[in-house]
Structure 1
Amino acid sequence: MLRFDPFSDFDAMAKQLLGMSGDTSRVPRFMPVDLFRAGDHYVLLADLPGVDPGSVDVSVHEGTLTLTAERTARSDEGVQWLTSERFGGKFRRQLSLGEGIDTERISASYDNGVLTVTIPVAERAKPRKIEVLSSTEGTTPSIEAKA
């Protein structure tokens, strides 16, 4: 007697579309990130659980911030996988930075599987007061410029 299992067909189709036919090196790599502004800097948080800290690389080139990391895949030798959702291989994420970023002072740390990148706003991009001089009066009113 044959059984009809539509879910196994969906699983097989999903595995085929995602390249998960037992070879986890071809699986999409996803690096979820949060990005927010806190005062005079931006903070980017990237989830990289299980990644070797020595493989984490943060670089800036021509206004593009690039994050790369690698998680070593488990050996498939002598193993019959029941499910494999923890992808191994290289992870990469790129973000375009705006003009008002101080790329010289970007810093990064990796702790408990989370990469934290602090991206400072350049001095020239911060709000500043511009003094307005009056030639007819001895007072100097000021106008505050906001970005």
Structure 2
Amino acid sequence: MATRWDPFQEMDRLFGSVLTNRASSSLPMDLFRSGDHYVLAVDLPGVDPGTIDVSVEDRTLTIRAERTPRSSEAQWLLRERATGTFARQLTVGRGLALDKIEASYADGVLTLTIPVSEEAKPRKIEIAHAGSRGEITTGADAG
């Protein structure tokens, strides 16, 4: 009995497994704004909290962590969870207080809270106007 071999199907299978492995070894994250700060949540399941490193240099935020392999003497039947060092870098824009980032790690999720800088927050600008004698007064002085 002859079998049919489709080279495109085989290539699709190979590329699919490569992309699946690449996606599983990345650091998936969510980013949202809540009031006057941004929240970045990064999935780091199975990572030793002592290996997590968060740093900021200029406008680059770097997150680095390590997942160590379980016993190498085990007879693996399936091994999909990647091990080793993982890193992700984000270029952040101006208007953030990068010196006031707060970080916490719970339930396999690293959460960074990044406040908006005071200079970037919206504010009211008072308008000066001329008084009856040609004097300029501010809105606070006007009565």
TM-score, normalised via structure 2 length: 0.77
Contact kept in structure 1, 2:32 and 2:39, CA below 8 Å: yes
1:72 pairs with 68, 87, 102, which one? Answer: 68
1:58 partnered with 2:60: no
User: Does residue 135 in structure 1 map to residue 136 in structure 2?
Assistant: no
Give the superposed CA RMSD: 3.1
| Counterpart AA for 1:13 | L
Q: Which of 35, 41, 58 lines up with 1:39 in the alignment? A: 35
% identity of equivalent residues: 51
The residue that corresponds to 1:106 in the other structure is 101
1:74–1:88 Cα contact (<8 Å) kept: no
Instruction: Show CA shifts across 1:85-118 (max 9, x none).
Output: 1111111111111110111111101011010001
SS at match of 1:104: helix
For this pair of structures, how many residues does the alignment match?
134
Deviation at residue 78 of structure 1 after TM alignment: 4.6
* Equivalent position amino acid for 2:35 in 1: G
Could you say which residue in structure 2 is the equivalent of 1:13?
14
Higher Cα radius of gyration: 2
* Contact 1:101/1:119, CA 8 A, preserved across alignment: yes
**Secondary structure of the residue that 1:129 maps to in structure 2?**
coil
Contact 2:24 2:81 in 1 (8 A): no
1:55-101 superposed Cα distances (whole Å, 9 cap, x missing partner): 011111011111111111124435143x2211111111111111101
CA deviations over 1:104-140 (Å, ceiling 9, x no partner): 1111010110100010110000001111101245774
Instruction: Note the residue ranges of structure 1 that are not aligned, 5 or more in a row.
Output: 21-25, 143-147
Q: Is the 8 A contact 2:37 2:116 kept in 1?
A: yes
Q: 1:118 is matched with which residue: 102, 113, 122? A: 113
